[in-house]
Amino acid sequence: MKYHFFVGNDNGNSEHDLLIDGRLVQQPNVNCTVDTLPWSEEQSPESFIKNLQEQLVVTVDSPAARPGMYYIGKFALESGEILDNLQIGIDLKSDMDLPIVNTLAQIAAVAVQKAYEEEKKLPDAIEVDADMAAALPVTQHSDENAAKFEKRYMNGTHHVTVHLGIHRVSVKIAFVYTKVVPEATSVIFTLQKDAEGSWRSGDIFKDFAEAYELDAKKFNGSYFKDKRILHVDIGDGSTEYPITEGNKFLRQFVHGSHHGVGYALEDALADFNKLIKLPDSPRQFFSDVIKNAKHKYHARAIKTLKRPLETQGRQIMQHVQRQLTRARNEIDVICVYGGGSILMRSFLYPQLKQICEEREMKLLYIPAEYAVQLNAMGLDAFARGKIFEALKSKAVQPV
């Protein structure tokens, strides 16, 4: 069986968000190497299919990463094994094995699910050709780092064995073309157009339309086609502040800072562990408790996080003001999104609203249900678009 997938790959410090063949996958961005399978008894391989991402075990043989057997994402996080994760402010994503391994694993998992849905049985082998748009933080993105990251995907074929109980499916993945862009810059594509290529509309713009007395029923992404936008993409380990005009990324305003929710989590982690009587727990566990309002430790987690979040928020506001000064306030819209924007909303929204009123700009604070996936949606739209196709045609031409 052979497939071609478009992949929009947002490899965040805390969460891995991908659109693979149009399917949204969201998992903690962690893995761990293991020596043996967690299952010893025969189980129906079909029973794994629906929730494969939650119990993902793969063996990877790739020219771009250390070969081995891995637990991926949530399954790794809950395994009690020693985790490999991205250390915020330290690790260069383009040098790490973790983004490669987790990306290969998730693409292979979707290929297995698709094959089963179509054939109602599991094949022994699948081949996937992929066109992928990925991103690096603005503070890490350079032509050299981007090219290095792209080559790790495109130089050679990657072999992934997906384990469904003791049943195995071999997935061979080849990246036809990969383009690595600065984080946040692809979001302009998804603000304007939806997956079908029509002007985007709906709940994502509801608050914005109401705040500025625009007709919510008629409002759509065409509004942003010629706007100058200051993006504030708040992640775990970095916040990006690029400026776009229409579909153009303005290189003279490249700026990012090492501020985000991950730093607040790390500052609060010791207090959180003390409150719940644990000697230690990983940052991703703390992050999961924060996201889950029903978790028994949620209230305690929020309590320990409040002050560190405000500290990070103040730093982010300083960088926003710095970018506005550099742009001489020639900004139409400040657009805020990313996983960190959800937790920081109560602190940041009133301050940004005031700045926008004083400087004659508008504030688009993306609703929580879209804030995390906006980068992946933008990268997916970019991978399917004309600019990507033109770059691909140029790159694969024989010399």
Residues 193 and 157 in one domain: no
* Residue partners of 144: CB distance under 8 A and separation at least 6: none
Average pLDDT of the chain, as a whole number: 92
Q: Are residues 86 and 20 in the same domain?
A: yes
Render pLDDT for 135-187 as a digit per residue (tens, 0 to 9).
988 878 889 999 999 999 999 999 999 999 889 999 999 999 999 998 878 89
Mean pLDDT of all residues in 358-384? 94
Domain count, the chain: 2
Which range marks the domain in which residue 210 is found? Answer: 187-264+270-377
Closest by CA position to 370, among listed 175, 207, 199: 207
* Domain match, 176 and 224 both: no
342: closest CA among 267, 286, 287, 271? 287
Residues 178 and 208 in one domain: no
CA distance 49 to 125: 16
Q: Residue 14: what pLDDT?
A: 82
Domain boundary among the residues 137, 163, 182 is at 182
Per-residue pLDDT, 241: 94
Quick one: DSSP state of residue 398? Answer: -
Residue 30: the pLDDT is 94
One domain for residues 237 and 137: no
Residue 340 domain-assigned? yes
Q: Are residues 58 and 202 in the same domain?
A: no
Distance between CA atoms of residues 35 and 174, nearest Å: 26
- Mean pLDDT within 113-125: 94
Q: Which pLDDT score, from 0 to 100, does residue 395 have?
A: 85
Q: Looking at the structure, tell me whether residues 132 and 103 fall in a common domain.
A: yes
CA–CA dist 235, 259 (Å, integer): 8
- State the Rg of the chain over Cα: 21
Per-residue pLDDT at 7 exceeds 80: yes
Asked if residue 111 lies in contact with residue 128, where contact means CB atoms within 8 angstroms, the answer is yes
The label of the residue with tokens 């066109």 reads 131
Same domain, 124 and 259: no
The answer to whether residue 197 is domain-embedded is yes
Same domain, residue pair 283 and 149: no
Is residue 388 domain-resident? no
Q: Is the pLDDT of residue 316 over 70?
A: yes
Is 62 a domain residue? yes
What is the domain-level CATH number for residue 307? 3.30.420.40
Query: Does one domain contain both 192 and 176?
Result: no
The pTM score is: 0.88
269's enclosing H/E stretch is: helix 261-275
pLDDT of residue 192: 92
Average pLDDT over residues 32-36: 95
Q: What is the mean pLDDT of residues 282-291?
A: 81
- Confidence band of 399 (pLDDT split at 50, 70, 90): very low
